[in-house]
């Protein structure tokens, strides 16, 4: 049969009952003859509770200690999950990131994976055991210290083990049924996408879609790991992220395969032009007013912003006013990075020579993503038309080969998403289901 890596987020293992539900799914997968590796996040709110405890003690916890603290969460969930599987008569062993062989650099809190040496995991599989791996954590072998991977760490752990073990599929179990054409909380008629390419998924994730972390998709694309995003609550077939759009979904249980076949009847297998509409409310806009329009100014400006640690997203430069020789540059960046960027720019004001800085954190970003876009003319016209018909003003525009993003007022973002979703015919008849909070 297949080698399947399954990842369960915190909301899927929030209490004893949900751990038992997950254990049953894992046992089923094993008993169907598959080799199974499970990556698990900390239970429910454990991580937040630990962060809160640390915050009661200090406003600047040493990052090494913070990483040791947080990894306790997965240690609890992984051992409990192993016990629950064992109680079903299926052998299971749990392994910390260190024991499982996930080697990282020494950047506490946002460590990067250097290598995966899954010797103990392979041995456990060879003995017919289910191997449970703590998500989100690894070891730096130079210091022999525990590290955490930061945002999206557990998803990335799962894809990394899937790549290292040559798994047939990496199943990411979460609290939604898969990838949707838009956030179902904003667009109740959003449709689940059956398949999506890595590149489209990357654009969706980079544009604010939260189901899969950018980093995890990048890892999957680099190593060609098929990622199957699905719900641990409904058990339904979810969304396959892959480059081979024609193939079936690997690792389906018999009951899954039947459901997938039934679903196919209403789903034509040709790749759609548009995958979905993503949105992002976490960015802010900085406008630098009255910049001298001479070569090198923009370079100097963005150098300073980069040193402040901010990640620039969109940039728009106005046409220079001929009388003054001055121009304005607007750019967007994560709102959390804005204070540092503003401080750095203010300090460099004399050096760069601008008049003033304008700051605006009431913006929203809408992105239309689709691999078919590059071969279909008229997509932007249709997008701008839909926004115009909805009375929504566009403040900035950027495009990639498979994405068009626009900035709107924050309070108009929801209606913008609904208008565009509808204009591109993405609405379904039914209503999507959302099950709970989001895990780590």
- CA diameter of the chain: 81
Sole binder of its own copies in the list 75, 151, 236, 382 (CB under 8 A): 75
Cβ proximity of 101 and 117 under 8 Å: yes
**Identity of the residue, 77 or 308, whose beta carbon is nearer to its own copies in the bound complex:** 77
Contacts 24+ apart (CB under 8 A), 63-68: 63/108, 63/109, 64/108, 64/145, 66/108, 66/109, 66/148, 67/108, 67/109, 67/137, 67/145, 67/146, 67/147, 67/148, 68/145, 68/146
Nearer of residues 119 and 325 to its own copies, judged by Cβ: 119
Residue choice 1, 31, 65, 343 for contact with its own copies (CB under 8 A): 65
Strand, helix or coil at 283?
strand
Q: Which helix (H) or strand (E) holds 134?
A: strand 130-134
- Residue 350 burial by Cβ neighbours in a 10 Å radius (0-12, 13-18, 19+): exposed
Closest distance between its own copies and the C-beta of residue 107, in Å? Answer: 18
Does the protein bind its own copies through residue 16 (CB under 8 A)? yes
Q: What does DSSP assign to residue 249?
A: -
Q: Which of 1, 31, 48, 53 binds its own copies (CB under 8 A)?
A: 53
Nearer to its own copies, 77 or 156 (CB): 77
Least separation in angstroms between residue 24's CB and its own copies is 12
Q: Does 275 sit near its own copies (CB under 8 A)? A: no
Contact between 89 and its own copies per CB under 8 A? no
Q: Are 328 and 287 in contact (CB under 8 A)?
A: yes
Taking residues 400 to 429 in sequence order and writing x for each that binds its own copies by CB under 8 A, - otherwise, the string is ------------------------------
Piece of 69-77, 196-204, 270-278, 370-378 that binds its own copies (CB under 8 A): 69-77
The residue among 56 and 265 lying less far from its own copies, judged by its C-beta, is 56
Among 3, 69, 394, 433, indicate the residue that binds its own copies (CB under 8 A): 69
Which one, of 332, 334, 340, lies nearest residue 309 by Cα?
A: 340
Taking the C-alpha atoms of residue 95 and residue 344, their distance in angstroms, rounded to an integer, is 44
Query: 138-154: string of b/e by CB count within 10 Å (b at 16+)?
Result: bbbeeeebbbbbbebbb
* C-beta neighbour count of 38 within 10 angstroms: 30
CB 203 within 8 A of CB 160: no
Binding marks (x or -) toward its own copies, 141..160, rule CB under 8 A? ---xx---------------
| Residue 29 binding its own copies, by CB under 8 A | no
Minimum CB distance to its own copies smaller for 53 or for 358: 53
Rounded-to-integer distance, Cα 262 and Cα 292, Å: 63
The CA dihedral of 43, 47, 52, 56, to the nearest 10 degrees, is 110
Please give the distance of CA 380 from its chain centroid, rounded to a whole number. 26
Residue 195 binds to its own copies (criterion: CB under 8 A) = no
211 is in an annotated binding site: yes
Q: With binding defined as CB under 8 A, does residue 433 bind its own copies?
A: no
Distance in angstroms (rounded) separating the CA atoms of residues 432 and 187:
9
- 74 assigned to a ligand binding site: yes
Number of residues located near its own copies, criterion CB under 8 A = 37
Q: Interface with its own copies by CB under 8 A: which range of 88-96, 189-197, 208-216, 287-295?
A: 88-96
> Is residue 189 at the binding interface for its own copies, with CB under 8 A as the rule?
no
Instruction: List, as residue ranges, the binding site for ATP.
Output: 7-10, 174-175, 185, 210-211
Residues near its own copies, by CB under 8 A: 16, 19-20, 50, 53-54, 56-58, 60-62, 64-66, 68-69, 71-73, 75-76, 78-80, 82-84, 86-87, 93-94, 96, 99, 120, 144-145
Instruction: List, as residue ranges, the binding site for substrate.
Output: 47, 74
């Amino acid at each position: 049969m297949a080698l399947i890596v399954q990842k369960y987020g915190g909301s899927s293992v929030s209490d004893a009952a949900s751990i038992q539900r997950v254990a049953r799914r894992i046992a089923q997968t094993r008993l169907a003859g598959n080799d199974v590796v499970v990556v698990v996040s900390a239970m429910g709110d454990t991580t937040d509770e630990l962060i809160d405890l640390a915050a009661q003690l200090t406003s600047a916890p040493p990052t090494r200690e913070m990483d040791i603290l947080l990894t306790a969460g997965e240690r609890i969930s992984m051992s409990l999950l192993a016990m629950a599987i064992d109680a079903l008569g299926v052998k299971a062993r749990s392994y910390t990131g260190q024991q499982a062989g996930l080697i990282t650099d020494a950047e506490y809190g946002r460590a990067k994976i250097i290598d995966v040496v899954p010797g103990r995991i392979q041995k456990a599989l060879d003995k017919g055991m289910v191997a449970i791996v703590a998500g989100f954590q690894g070891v730096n072998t130079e210091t022999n210290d525990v590290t955490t991977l930061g945002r999206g760490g557990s998803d990335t752990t799962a894809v990394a083990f899937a790549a290292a073990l040559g798994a047939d599929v990496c199943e990411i179990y979460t609290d939604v049924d898969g990838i949707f054409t838009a956030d179902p909380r904003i667009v109740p008629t959003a449709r689940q996408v059956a398949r999506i390419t890595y590149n489209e998924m990357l654009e969706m994730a980079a544009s604010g879609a939260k189901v899969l972390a950018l980093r995890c998709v990048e890892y999957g694309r680099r190593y060609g790991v098929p990622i199957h995003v699905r719900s641990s609550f409904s058990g339904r077939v979810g969304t396959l992220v892959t480059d081979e759009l024609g193939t079936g979904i690997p690792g389906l249980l018999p009951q899954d395969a039947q459901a997938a076949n039934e679903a196919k009847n209403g789903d034509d297998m040709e790749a759609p032009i548009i995958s979905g509409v993503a949105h992002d409310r976490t960015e802010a806009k900085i406008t630098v007013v009255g910049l001298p329009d001479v070569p090198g100014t923009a370079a100097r400006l963005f150098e300073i912003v980069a040193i402040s640690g901010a990640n620039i997203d969109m940039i728009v430069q106005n046409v220079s006013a001929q009388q003054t020789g001055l121009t304005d540059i607007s750019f967007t960046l994560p709102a959390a990075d804005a204070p540092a960027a503003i401080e750095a720019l203010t300090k460099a004001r004399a050096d760069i020579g601008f008049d003033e800085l304008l700051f605006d954190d009431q913006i929203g970003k809408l992105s239309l993503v689709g691999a078919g876009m590059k071969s279909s003319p008229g997509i932007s016209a249709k997008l701008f038309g839909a926004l115009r018909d909805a009375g929504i003003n566009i403040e900035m525009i950027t495009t990639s080969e498979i994405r068009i993003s626009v900035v709107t007022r924050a309070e108009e973002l929801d209606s913008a998403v609904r208008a565009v979703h509808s204009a591109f015919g993405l609405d379904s008849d039914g209503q999507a289901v959302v099950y709970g909070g989001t895990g780590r």
